[in-house]
Amino acid sequence: MTQRVLATCILALAFAGVGTAQGTASHTKTAPEYTQAQVKQLARIARAPEQFTTLASYFARQHDNYLRLAAEEKKEWAQLGQNVTSMAAKYPRPADSARSRYEYYMAKANEAGILEAKYNHLAAPDAPVNAQ
């Protein structure tokens, strides 16, 4: 029990320190990478604006990354879509797979954008603390 509380406190302090040092609009390559478990835990215990800012910057990086991946897949989709195949072609075609990946990345980017907006709102000084 005490190990869990100690680990939670250390993690919360680490996230709070990163959030204040990073700023909200900073999307540098040196930004720390968090595991899904760390993000989930911080989202569960977040109460301070710095913690919400850290979560918002994490989801902003995720949003940008998914948009970049979607743009790459859209280019590949357009390139593969130009290849005309015969009627006996096997499905799914490579263009169909590229389209599916593009749609997946766009959905994930949309989800990350919504979470970024949520945590930016909670980081505002007048936001309710327990509104998650």
**Average pLDDT of the residues in 89-110:** 91
User: What pTM, to 2 d.p., does this model score?
Assistant: 0.69
Cβ proximity of 54 and 19 under 8 Å: yes
Q: Over the stretch 45-92, which tens digit does the pLDDT of each residue have?
A: 999 999 999 999 999 999 999 999 999 999 999 998 887 666 667 778
Two structure tokens written together for 32: 């720390």
Judge whether residue 116 has pLDDT over 90: yes
Judge whether residue 102 has pLDDT over 80: yes
Break the chain into its structural domains and give their ranges.
2-123
Q: Which residue has the higher pLDDT, 33 or 131?
A: 33
**Total residues found in the chain within this entry:** 132
- Encoded amino acid at 113, one letter: G
Burial class (CB in 10 A: 0-12, 13-18, 19+), 64: middle
92 vs 25: CA distance, rounded Å: 40
